[in-house]
Amino acid sequence: MTRRGIVLAGIVVLDIVHLIDHWPNEEALAFIDRTEHAAGGPPHNAGAGLLKLGAEFPVTLLATAGDDAYGEIMLASARGHGLDTSRVSIIPGAITSHTLVMSCLDTGRRTFFAQLGCNNLMNVSHLLPPEDSTAKLYYLGSPGVARGLDQSDGWRTLLNAARERGMKTCLELCPVPADILRQQVPPCLPLCDYFVVNDYEAGSITGIEIAPGGRLSWTAAEAACRRLLDMGVGELAGVHHPDGAVAMRRNGEVAMRPSVKVEQPEIAGSVGAGDAFYAGVLLGLHEDWPLDRCLDLGNAAAATSLHSPTTSASIRPWAECLAYAEKKGLRPGP
């Protein structure tokens, strides 16, 4: 049987993105330039990114929402990106999970305030891959922000179920506190075929400082990939950072690719850039591209995502992303 498609499951939220002029001190004032609403969360962002990139295979979303106004806005936003929301479970009386994103116009950095809402009520039954699915990949996110799954070994159950149904498994994370990552993630790694995370997440799990002084250490990123494989990741471990990305296969193949030069005036916001990177890598993995080309598309997708304050609106078709990267040039490499 030829497998095609990606099932994306887990945490979906409504992002309420405030673009602020600067990050204030406590009891001080900052000004909101404008506010945008968009569906968010790793499965949604990666799925929307795949569709924006022009994925020519099925993209299926499994998640939960409340029966409130936030849920209506979130699902309408997801459908606006072309995502099929028919498999999103509505939990009566629950508050739709939402995140206030403060995105600073002066630095491009963002800070998150999360109301976990219905994601705390989510259980394995909401996210199980369909038994009749012929999808190639099962993508799951994110441990640490769904108490029902966090406290019940639910993440491992889902990864194991996907493998039993013939899918390769992928795990994505959110920037939760490091101690939560260290508690929740390592038990999942032996059930994960592809594991691609940012420098903070990789450092929290492996104990390796990947970006001393804020700059990517290519050798440290490579060491972190090797450590993640030693911790049980099945086929591929990757680490991304604003300076670039490193990935390693279990057979020893290593790819290191610098990121795209995007000038500060072009950056409307960085929320979702990591998910856009993963979407590019997922498309390449699904299509069996060489590893360095997967990273190039991930970097290019992340670069175009910076042009919007929301997660996915400005991502371009994959060929246009790569052309944009070639036009802008790359940062210094290893």
Tokens of 255: 């790819």
pLDDT above 90 coverage of the chain, percent: 84
Residue 270: per-residue pLDDT = 81
Tens digits of per-residue pLDDT, 157-176? 999 999 999 999 999 998 89
Domain boundary assignment for the chain: 6-14+40-97+117-328
Segment 125-154 shows an average pLDDT of 94
| pLDDT greater than 80 at residue 311 | no
pLDDT of residue 1: 75
Q: Which positions ≥6 away from 28 have C-beta within 8 Å?
A: none
The 3-state secondary structure of 235-265, one letter per residue:
CEEEEEECCEEEEEECCCCEEEEECECCCHH
pLDDT at 142: 93
Residue 192 has pLDDT above 80, yes or no: yes
Q: What average pLDDT does range 240-245 have in this prediction?
A: 97
pLDDT higher than threshold 80 for residue 131: yes
Give the pLDDT band (50/70/90) at residue 51: very high
Residue 134 binned pLDDT confidence (cut-offs 50, 70, 90):
very high
Does the pLDDT at position 3 exceed 90? yes
Within 13 Å, how many C-alpha atoms sit on residue 134's CB side?
6
Give tens-digit pLDDT for 257-278. Answer: 999 999 888 988 787 899 999 9
Mean pLDDT over each residue of the chain, to the nearest integer:
95
**Distance (Å, whole) CA 334 – CA 315:** 26
SS3 181: helix
Has this prediction a pTM greater than 0.85?
Answer: yes
CB neighbours (10 Å) of residue 290? 11
Residue written as tokens 């290019």? 300
Q: Which of 71-85, 237-251, 291-305 has the lowest mean pLDDT?
A: 71-85
The model's confidence at residue 7, banded by pLDDT at 50, 70 and 90, is: very high
In DSSP terms, which residues pair with 20 in a beta bridge?
A: 32, 104
DSSP assignment letter at 267:
-
Per-residue model confidence (pLDDT) at position 221: 98
Mean pLDDT of 183-196: 98
In angstroms, the Cα distances linking 46 to 43, 83, 326 are 5, 11, 23
pLDDT recorded at residue 255: 98
Residue 310 has pLDDT above 80, yes or no: no
Q: Which residue has the tokens 């990114």?
A: 49
Alpha helix ranges (H) inside 21-153: 42-53, 69-80, 124-127, 147-150
CB neighbourhood size of 287 (10 A)? 15
The answer to whether 147 touches 141, Cβ cutoff 8 Å, is no
Fold of 6-14+40-97+117-328: UDP-N-acetylmuramoyl-L-alanine:D-glutamate ligase (3.40.1190)
Question: Positive or negative, the Cα torsion across 40, 86, 196, 55?
Answer: negative
Say how many CA atoms lie within 13 Å of 180 toward its Cβ.
Answer: 13
For residue range 53-75, list pLDDT tens digits in order: 999 999 999 999 999 999 999 99
Percentage with pLDDT > 70 across the chain: 100
Once rounded to an integer, what is the mean pLDDT over residues 213-221?
Answer: 97
β-partners of residue 64 are 89
Which of the 8 DSSP states describes residue 101? E
Please name which of 97, 92, 95, 161 lies closest in space to residue 125, comparing C-alpha atoms. 161
> What is the pLDDT, as a whole number, of residue 300?
98
CA atoms within 13 A on the CB side of 271: 30
Gap between the Cα atoms of 257 and 221, Å rounded: 12
What one-letter code names the amino acid at 53?
A: L
